[in-house]
């Protein structure tokens, strides 16, 4: 009789403890929540709460919020995400989600705004995705590749100087056509230059030891740099430069 009473008491104590442990575990595991807010400094800011969430599910939420493509390799889909981030820049967020992350984007001159075209999440050691999508040119563009000027007859020779070494750009231009300056920059970067429309803008530019992001900020908003950023090293790979003049709007026929 005493043994039965003791077992009954143990059960009465143990069962509530199990219930409390289950309730505590349920509270500890936080639901997946993700918000993205714009930033004046370039890439958006991410607020993310995740507890053992599949990377694929996090990527789907992120793609929807950014209105872009977030590509997760087959191997990386097995990753689980547990983190709590508050207003963290997108590039730093992606570094936490996967060992290797790439951002394909367009950097606009002048205001430095970045339009994200695609995000790629990979495991360590996986090859980078091809650059084929970034290389696609517009059907309206006039393509230039390589040096388009003959230095022996170029009247602008002594007024335009562009060099690129160790990831740093030096540009000096005085009263130069914007199209010539951008074409020359593309030439020293070894990437194609596309001209869309009829650009007649003249510019003065003087910069030394500038990163590509800094160089773009010194140009106008009609210049766009298509590029890929490797978030493991933060190295930027330029793919093509585009100069597209804004289309004039007819006041009578807006």
pLDDT in tens, 6-43: 444 444 454 454 455 445 444 455 689 999 998 876 78
Instruction: Give the integer Cα–Cα distance in Å for 171 and 215.
Output: 8
Residues 6+ apart with CB under 8 A from 41: 89
Instruction: Give the integer Cα–Cα distance in Å for 160 and 175.
Output: 9
CA nearest to 197, candidates 171, 170, 178, 173: 178
Least confident among 188-192, 194-198, 220-224: 194-198
pLDDT for 153:
40
Side-chain half-sphere CA neighbours of 37 within 13 A: 9
Per-domain residue ranges of the chain: 33-123, 139-220
To which H or E segment does residue 183 belong? helix 178-189
To which H or E segment does residue 51 belong? strand 45-54
Mean pLDDT of 157-164: 82
Least confident among 22-36, 167-181, 219-233: 22-36
One DSSP character per residue, 93-155 reads HHHHH-SEEEEEEEEETTT--EEEEEEEEE-TTPPPPPSHHHHPPPTTPEEE-S--S-TTT-T
Check if CATH label 3.55.50.30 holds for domain 33-123.
yes
CA nearest to 119, candidates 90, 142, 146: 90
Least confident among 55-64, 134-143, 227-236, 239-248: 134-143
Residues β-bridged to residue 20: none
pTM of the full structure? 0.79
CA nearest to 96, candidates 127, 140, 53, 139: 53
pLDDT for 31:
83
> Which tens digits make up the pLDDT trace of 91-114?
999 999 999 999 999 999 988 789
> Which tens digits make up the pLDDT trace of 57-90?
999 999 999 999 999 999 999 899 999 999 999 9
SS3 state of residue 161: strand
Higher pLDDT, 141 or 104: 104
Least confident among 90-99, 151-160, 175-184, 229-238: 151-160
One DSSP character per residue, 118-135 reads EEEEE-TTPPPPPSHHHH
Mean pLDDT of 225-236: 95
Instruction: Give the integer Cα–Cα distance in Å for 93 and 46.
Output: 7
């Amino acid at each position: 009789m005493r043994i039965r009473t003791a077992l009954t008491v143990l059960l009465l104590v143990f069962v509530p403890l199990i219930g409390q442990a289950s309730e505590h575990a349920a509270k500890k595991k936080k639901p997946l929540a993700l918000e993205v807010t714009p930033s004046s400094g370039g890439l958006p800011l991410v607020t993310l709460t995740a507890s053992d969430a599949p990377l694929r599910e996090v990527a789907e939420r992120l793609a929807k919020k950014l209105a872009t493509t977030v590509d997760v390799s087959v191997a990386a889909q097995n990753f689980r995400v547990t983190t709590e981030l508050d207003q963290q820049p997108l590039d730093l967020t992606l570094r936490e989600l996967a060992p290797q992350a790439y951002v394909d984007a367009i950097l606009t001159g002048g205001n430095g705004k970045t339009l994200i075209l695609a995000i790629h999440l990979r495991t360590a050691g996986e090859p980078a995705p091809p650059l084929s999508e970034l290389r696609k040119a517009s059907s309206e563009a006039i393509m230039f590749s390589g040096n388009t000027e003959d230095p022996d007859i170029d009247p602008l020779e002594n007024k335009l100087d562009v060099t690129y070494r160790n990831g740093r750009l030096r540009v000096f231009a005085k009263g130069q056509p914007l199209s010539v300056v951008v074409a020359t920059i593309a030439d020293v970067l070894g990437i194609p230059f596309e001209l869309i429309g009829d650009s007649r803008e003249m510019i003065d530019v003087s910069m030394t030891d500038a990163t590509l992001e800094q160089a773009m900020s010194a140009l106008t908003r009609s210049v766009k740099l298509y590029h890929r950023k490797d978030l493991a090293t933060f190295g930027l790979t330029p793919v093509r430069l585009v100069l597209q003049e804004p289309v004039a709007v007819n006041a009578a026929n807006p």
